[in-house]
Amino acid sequence: MAEDSCLFCDGPEGIEDDLVKRYDHWTVFVNLNQEHLGRCIIKLNRHLVDFFEVTEEEREELFGTVVPELKVALKRSFDPDLFNYASLGNCVRHLHLHVIPRYKDEREFEDVVFRDRNWNSHYKPYDEDFEVSDEVRHSIATELRENI
């Protein structure tokens, strides 16, 4: 990918099946790696790099609606014990926030067992290669859509 292109602006479409909800300013979708069951990405709909340059309207929607709704959906769906939030932008320089549910005990969903190996510690290192099938990931998105 060229230096000046952006994965979130120019990347292929196709997150539709992983989409949880699209808002005026933000879009929520299920992260590819699901070692932390229900892990989602919230991305800003316009291209911006720095978290602290969002407009008041964007901030209001994120803090007042998007994150609270996602937390409720995750609670209803998978009952996490804690939420981690990460906004780094080292690999994709388009403002996005990782919402990482943390679990004291393992969870089972669609016959897959999810273990939070580092409970009570940093969410990394996690198994970068942990992947569920597209079907399971789409079911996670469906579950969240139905609970949001």
Q: What x-and-dash track marks residues 100-139 binding Zn ion by CB under 5 A? A: ----------------------------------------
What Cα–Cα distance (Å) separates residue 136 from each residue in 34, 66, 96?
10, 24, 23
Q: Residues 44, 25: contact at Cβ < 8 Å?
A: yes
Q: Residue 22 or residue 47: which is nearer to Zn ion going by CB?
A: 47
Residue type, 25: H
Nearest-approach distance from CB 5 to Zn ion, in angstroms = 9
Q: Residue 9 or residue 86: which is nearer to Zn ion going by CB?
A: 9
Query: What are the φ/ψ torsions at residue 65 (nearest 5 degrees)?
Result: -130, -55
By the rule CB under 5 A, 8 interacts with Zn ion: yes
Query: In 3D, which of 40, 39, 42 has the Cα closest to residue 23?
Result: 42
Q: Residue 27 or residue 77: which is nearer to Zn ion going by CB?
A: 27
Query: In 3D, which of 135, 104, 120 has the Cα closest to residue 34?
Result: 135
Nearest-approach distance from CB 52 to Zn ion, in angstroms = 17
By the rule CB under 5 A, 15 interacts with Zn ion: no
By the rule CB under 5 A, 9 interacts with Zn ion: yes
Which of residues 15, 17, 51, 94 is near Zn ion by CB under 5 A?
94
13 CB contacts (<8 Å, ≥6 apart)? Answer: none
Residues that bind Zn ion (CB under 5 A): 6, 8-9, 47, 94
